[in-house]
Structure formats: structure tokens, C-alpha cells
């Protein structure tokens, strides 16, 4: 028995599990709640290197009101909801994706207004799109083969990245992050594309960096009206003899984009596609 008027943090640490297999993890099926505390937060850490250090939260009725943070290792979770609504990661206001962490969503189509912070790897490995209506910190890498719909404001002194198939829809035309939009696989889609120093769906200042040193294709999809921008496009292929490349796709027939600073490349191919 007993109670506390303060808040507490429950620490989950693991040295086992398999990050590549969403079903192979240390599993928590039980309910995590505040109980008699003023508030409970959950912190995930993992060690052991490589694919190890994996926790999976399966209880979609977790009601703890503190935030969830992942500093190292991997968190797999089955549901997310707005702040104040129970989910596998509780009912808190935010989710922190630390720089040495992998955070993997494996539920159905969902939306949340929780703040997403950190500069780690955030996966949508679920069965539908994941919509982010809260603020998002720059530095995040979007991963997984399902789409993200980002309506919330992205800000910070770093860029954002996309790896794996699927599309990240950047719907907030006032994004203010300062850094590159990097796409090594999959796509970012945006409807505004302004000069450096002006907020737009792709942030305030930075380059479009497409491709990587492998056979994958980074794709930037523009869904807006005819415009021009001084943003530099960098087509990157770091490994000699590989076929990694980038695509700039103007989605609306008859619209054009003029890149006044041109394109720099060491890639094997540049494609311009009009649909």
C-alpha cells in the first residue's frame, strides 16, 4: 500500500530482443497506470548493441499520464492517441525519440496531437498512415514503409530525413526548421517551396538532398503551384558504381519549379518527372 504526491519514472531496460522482428521483444502486456502517484512516466533504455535492447508495449489501455521517452534501444508500441487518451504509450503529452533509439509504431491508422521530440529514428510499421498533429522537433528520421501525415509545426536547428518506402506528407506551410531535407529512400511531399530564409513546408533554410550510396531512390514530390526557389538540390551517391539516385516529381500537370541555384550531383542519374 501507500501513496506519493510526487511523480515517478518507471525504467525499462533490456539487453535482448530483435529490432528487425517486431514480434521478438521483451513484452509488457500488463496495465501501466499512475496508481496512487501524481504521475508516472516511462523511460526505455536498451543495451547490447546491434539489434538488441527491445521492449514492446502491448496494452492499449495504458493510462499513465507522464511522457514516454526512449534514450537508447528500441520501443515497439501498438497504439497512440491524443494527449489525455489512453494508449500503449499512456495518456501523456509527448514522445521522445532519442538519438540512439528506434521507436516503432505497429498499430493501425491513427492520429495524435502529442509532441514528438528527439533526433532518433521513428518508424511507421503499422497497417495505415500515422498522422502527427502536434509539434515535431527537427532532427527526426522517418522510417518504415507506411506513410506519415505531418500537420504539426516542425521546428529546430536541424533537418529531417526519410529512409524506407512510403511518403511523408509535410502539410504545415509554416515549418521553420533550419537544415536539409534528406531523402535516401521513399518520399517527402510538400505543397510550398520558398527561398531560403522563408518558412515553408520544407522548412526555413536548407537543401534538398536526394539519394544515397546504394540502389535506393530518394523522391521529392511537389504538389503546389508554379514557383521558383534558391534551394540547392544535391543528388548524392557516395559509393562508386552504385545506382542510388533522386527524383524530383512535379505532381500537378502544367506547373513548374525553377531551382535558381541548380543541381549538384555525384549520382548516376537525375530524373525530372511530370504527372
Would you give the distance in Å from CA 116 to the centre of its chain?
9
Split at pLDDT 50, 70, 90, the class of 4 is very low
| Measured torsion, CA atoms of residues 104, 110, 115, 116, in degrees rounded to the nearest 10 | 20
Mean per-residue pLDDT over the chain, rounded = 85
Q: Which of 28-37, 42-51, 237-246 has the lowest mean pLDDT?
A: 237-246
Whole-number pLDDT of residue 54: 84
Whole-number pLDDT of residue 115: 98
For the residues 209-230, what does the mean pLDDT come to? 86
DSSP string over the chain: ----SSEEEEEEEES---TT-TTSSEEE-S----TTSSEEEEEEEE-SSTT--EEEE--TT----S-EEEEEEEEEES---STTS--TTTT-SEEEEEEEEEEEE-SSSEEE--EEESSSEEEE-SSS-EEE-S-EETT-EEESSS-EEE-SPEESSS-EEE-SSSEEEE--TT---BS-EEESSEEEEES----TTS--TT-SB--EEE--SSS-EEEEEE-S-SEEE-PPEEE---STT---EEEEEE-STT--EEETT-EEE-SS-EEEEE-
What is the maximum span of the chain, computed from C-alpha positions, in angstroms?
70
* % residues pLDDT > 70 (the chain): 79
Whole-number pLDDT of residue 158: 97
> In angstroms, rounded to a whole number, what is the distance separating the alpha carbons of residues 271 and 263?
12
Question: Tens of pLDDT along 41-78?
Answer: 777 776 655 455 788 899 999 999 999 999 888 899 99
For the residues 226-244, what does the mean pLDDT come to? 74
Other beta carbons within 10 Å of 11:
11
Does the model's pTM come out above 0.85? yes
Amino acid at each position: 500500500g501507500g501513496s506519493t504526491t510526487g511523480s515517478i519514472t518507471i525504467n525499462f531496460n533490456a539487453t535482448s530482443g530483435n529490432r528487425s522482428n517486431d514480434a521478438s521483444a521483451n513484452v509488457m502486456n500488463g496495465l501501466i497506470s499512475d496508481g496512487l502517484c501524481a504521475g508516472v512516466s516511462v523511460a526505455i533504455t536498451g543495451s547490447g548493441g546491434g539489434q538488441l535492447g527491445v521492449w514492446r508495449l502491448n496494452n492499449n489501455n495504458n493510462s499513465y499520464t507522464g511522457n514516454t521517452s526512449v534514450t537508447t534501444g528500441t520501443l515497439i508500441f501498438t497504439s497512440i492517441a491524443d494527449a489525455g487518451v489512453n494508449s500503449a504509450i499512456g495518456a501523456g503529452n509527448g514522445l521522445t525519440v532519442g538519438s540512439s533509439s528506434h521507436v516503432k509504431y505497429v498499430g493501425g491508422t491513427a492520429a495524435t496531437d502529442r509532441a514528438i521530440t528527439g533526433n532518433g529514428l521513428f518508424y511507421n510499421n503499422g497497417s495505415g498512415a500515422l498522422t502527427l498533429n502536434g509539434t515535431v522537433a527537427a532532427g527526426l528520421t522517418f522510417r518504415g514503409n507506411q506513410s506519415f501525415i505531418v500537420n504539426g509545426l516542425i521546428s529546430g536547428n536541424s533537418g529531417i530525413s526519410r529512409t524506407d518506402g512510403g511518403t511523408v506528407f509535410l502539410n504545415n506551410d509554416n515549418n521553420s526548421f533550419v537544415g536539409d531535407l534528406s531523402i535516401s529512400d521513399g518520399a517527402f511531399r510538400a505543397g510550398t517551396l520558398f527561398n531560403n530564409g522563408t518558412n515553408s513546408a520544407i522548412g526555413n533554410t536548407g537543401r534538398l538532398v536526394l539519394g544515397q550510396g546504394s540502389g535506393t531512390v530518394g523522391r521529392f514530390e511537389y504538389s503546389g503551384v508554379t514557383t521558383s526557389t534558391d534551394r540547392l538540390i544535391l543528388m548524392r551517391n557516395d559509393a562508386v558504381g552504385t545506382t542510388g539516385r533522386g527524383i524530383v516529381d512535379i505532381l500537378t500537370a502544367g506547373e513548374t519549379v525553377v531551382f535558381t541555384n541548380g543541381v549538384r550531383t555525384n549520382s548516376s542519374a537525375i530524373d525530372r518527372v511530370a504527372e
